[in-house]
Chains A and B, each alone.
Chain A
Amino acid sequence: AQSVAQPEDQVNVAEGNPLTVKCTYSVSGNPYLFWYVQYPNRGLQFLLKYITGDNLVKGSYGFEAEFNKSQTSFHLKKPSALVSDSALYFCAVRVLIGGYQKVTFGTGTKLQVIP
């Protein structure tokens, strides 16, 4: 069975500093990885995904993520954090099972950007 781990419940970073939100996964077969962001009382918004190819994936709002197969990680990064980046971030893995796609989400990491 596939699983996703987000080891940090919360990450605090000063505005203007680089940020990293960690995600590791466990799947059999090829992993397809996603990052979503959730603002208070809102649904999840898609940020970026890794399917194949370049290990560095660029997404919305200046975010990027690095796929590392040997470490089974897909960490979310941004060079310079904004206060408006404060939100809940979810990592997800999607695999093909029985002909259809099944997605598993991590538990979420709350990002707090301090002015």
Chain B
Amino acid sequence: KAGVTQTPRYLIKTRGQQVTLSCSPISGHRSVSWYQQTPGQGLQFLFEYFSETQRNKGNFPGRFSGRQFSNSRSEMNVSTLELGDSALYLCASSPTGTGAVPETQYFGPGTRLLVL
């Protein structure tokens, strides 16, 4: 099976712009989670989608939003970019993210966003 793919891999934007990142999960996986990784804050959970619904959300401002399509692909959008949004954005997928047996999350390579 192909792994989790993320596009684009690198992105440079300026303050005030908006950006959309894309994530394609492993085939058959329906749960998609997004994380922001920065040197100062580490890995921070953004949100999780399952069956086109946001099921869980981290502590990020409303400028950060996402959606999931019927084929489980997910997009993340950041509006009105700030310098502090520069980070590696990671997407992870798992089969369902539910049930008593914990599932392993599989990560994509990430999108490196630089805000100037």
Residues of A within 8 A of B (CB): 32, 34, 36, 41-46, 49, 51, 90, 94, 96, 99-108
Q: How far is the CA of A106 from the CA of B45 in the complex (A)?
A: 12
Within 8 A of A (CB), among B61-116: 88, 90, 92, 94, 97-110, 112
Number of interface residues of B (CB under 8 A): 30
Task: Select B104's contact among A34, A96, A105, beta carbons within 8 Å.
Answer: A34
Interface of A: prevailing SS: strand
Question: A90-B43, A99-B98, A100-B98 given as contacts; is B107 within 8 A of A45 (CB)?
Answer: yes
Question: A100-B55, A100-B98 given as contacts; is B104 within 8 A of A49 (CB)?
Answer: yes
Q: How far is the CA of A100 from the CA of B92 in the complex (A)?
A: 15
User: A96 contacts which chain B residues (CB < 8 A)?
Assistant: 99-100, 102
B108 and A43 contact, CB distance less than 8 A: yes
B101 and A51 contact, CB distance less than 8 A: yes
Task: Select B102's contact among A32, A42, A99, A104, beta carbons within 8 Å.
Answer: A32
Task: Select B42's contact among A43, A51, A99, A108, beta carbons within 8 Å.
Answer: A108
Q: How far is the CA of A81 from the CA of B61 in the complex (A)?
A: 42
B17 interfacial contact with A, CB 8 Å: no
User: A42 contacts which chain B residues (CB < 8 A)?
Assistant: 109-110
Closest to A6 in B: B42
